[in-house]
A and B are shown apart, each in its own frame.
Chain A
Amino acid sequence: MAMIECKDVSKWYGTFQVLTNCSTTVEKGEVIVVCGPSGSGKSTLIKCVNALEPFQKGVITVDGISVGAPKTNLPKLRARVGMVFQHFELFPHLTIIDNLTLAQIKVLNRNKEEASVRGMKLLDRVGLTEQAAKFPGQLSGGQQQRVAIARALSMDPICMLFDEPTSALDPEMINEVLDVMVQLAKEGMTMMVVTHEMGFARKVANRVIFMDKGEIVEDASKDDFFGQPRSERAQLFLSKILHN
């Protein structure tokens, strides 16, 4: 069974259509990179996967559970889907360790100590144990994003969604975040990643999805995509981002 399945997903803002019949599947253990020009609907699509954005047509299932069905317990579903945002979105009023334990305690009902141990273990994994008592504002962008990844992992997710995780970072911090993501991919985490980091895609992606104007224009294996993208739009996009 596919981990994430999108079938004919369409979404409108008023009369403006932002997604048009998007269909794709992400198998367990697969890493899918979603790219495309800005405004192509890639972030919107990934936010539909855990229902942060509602969609009007089509079906999305995560681990067999329909995201759009009214009776679906969304908090319960979201707790199992990790998400990392462009602007990190750590909680600025909480320390790093509290950011990591809040949802473990409130959603997974772990006790404080259990949650702390798990949190510290993940902080260690992203190399930030020394920052545990600090507040997000005291960390660099790259560090904050690594904390955000650790926070998502603390919930033991069955898959991870990344929404442009490096596009708000200074260039010298991009790699520290990508390294964590590559590591995660190699461990077999199911990942759906919206990014323009084609180096990352080449390294770990199984498939690349190219979106333009709300449509999935291309959904191909990594080698096919970089070797011989079929659509003109994808070719144009690749030539633009690879040549600068």
Chain B
Amino acid sequence: MDLDFSIVTRSLPYLWQGMKYTLQLTATSAVGGLFFGTLLALARLSPNKILSNVAAGYVNLMRSIPLVLVIFWFFFLVPLIAQGITGSERPIQIGAERTAMITFILFEAAYFCEIMRAGIQSIPRGQVHSAYALGLTYGQSMRLVILPQAFRNMIPVLLTQTIILFQDTSLVYVISATDFVGAASKIAQRDSRLVEMYLFVAVVYFVLCYTLSYLVKLLQKRIAVIS
């Protein structure tokens, strides 16, 4: 087989564009997902049955549907919702990139919710009591006492989930968003260099994810020593 890897070097600037989008999508989804996931976790743990059931329903729904399907779903649904809200005559196209961002935030929120829920439950009940006993409100107790500890306990798991998210973002190629895989795939097909490009992409993903996983493992050991 005749392999020509010069195609990789020649297309590096374009691939970097894709990688930038991948990183941006990962970061936004992780931050947004963590934010909404934490709110969902608080809702799931709420004594209010309606609130906790709605949150549980959402999480279970999201976790039972393949991500690809959710991406498609939002790609077609969001323009219609936007149309409904603005009362426009036609569905409002918001573009693949933004669709991907919304989808991933909403999808990841379900996963981050379960992580944060476990984190909150790992904090002894006495901590909540002592926060309340000092006169802190529910919101203050959560924000100042419980969530910082829950978050810290869950950092390794949250980072691992973010690494999975980083890989999952490659699925946006199904709505033709140009992420790292999307960029590579476009060049691969234009120049018929599928093997070289996909091999290169795989190596990059492997090196990045493996290194990050290794760092998370080190971090986990350090945290275990502290507590």
Interface residues of A (CB under 8 A from B): 47, 50, 52, 74-76, 78-83, 85, 87, 89-93, 102-103, 106-108, 137, 148, 151-152, 155
Contact = CB atoms under 8 A, between A and B. Distances in A.
B152 interface: yes
A91 B132 contact: no
B130 A155 contact: no
B137 A89 contact: no
Contact of A75 (B127, B137, B152, B227): B137
Given A85-B130, A85-B133, A137-B227, 14 more contacts: A47-B129, A75-B132, A75-B135, A75-B137, A78-B132, A79-B134, A81-B133, A82-B133, A83-B133, A89-B126, A93-B148, A106-B136, A152-B134, A155-B135
Nearest to B148: A93
Contact of B140 (A76, A106, A148): A106
Contacts of B145: 91
Nearest to B137: A75
26 contacts: A50-B133, A52-B133, A75-B135, A78-B132, A78-B133, A78-B134, A79-B135, A80-B135, A83-B129, A83-B133, A85-B126, A85-B130, A85-B133, A87-B124, A87-B126, A89-B126, A91-B130, A102-B136, A103-B134, A103-B135, A106-B136, A106-B144, A107-B134, A108-B135, A137-B226, A148-B130
Contacts of B148: 93
Contacts of B135: 75-76, 78-80, 103, 107-108, 155
A137 B223 CA distance: 13
A52 B140 contact: no
Contacts of A155: 134-135
Contacts of A47: 129
Which bucket holds chain B's interface residue count? 20 to 34
Contacts of A78: 132-135
B134 A151 contact: yes
Contacts, number: 68
A80 B149 CA distance: 26
Contacts of A52: 129, 132-133
Contacts of A50: 132-133
B201 to A, nearest CB: 40
A80 B145 CA distance: 20
A93 B134 contact: no
Contacts of A80: 135
> Across chains A and B, which 9 residue pairs bring their CB atoms closest together, nearest first?
A79-B135, A89-B130, A103-B134, A83-B133, A107-B135, A89-B126, A78-B135, A75-B135, A75-B137
A194 to B, nearest CB: 14
Given A91-B145, A137-B227, A75 B130 contact: no
B129 A91 contact: no
A52 B140 CA distance: 16
A52 B152 CA distance: 26
Contacts of B140: 106-107
A244 to B, nearest CB: 28
B185 to A, nearest CB: 45
Nearest to A106: B140
Nearest to A74: B132
Interface in B124-173: 124, 126-127, 129-137, 140, 144-145, 148-149, 152
Contacts of B130: 83, 85, 89-91, 148
A71 to B, nearest CB: 16
Given A85-B126, A106-B140, A93 B152 contact: yes
A85 B152 CA distance: 24
Contacts of B152: 93
A219 B142 CA distance: 39
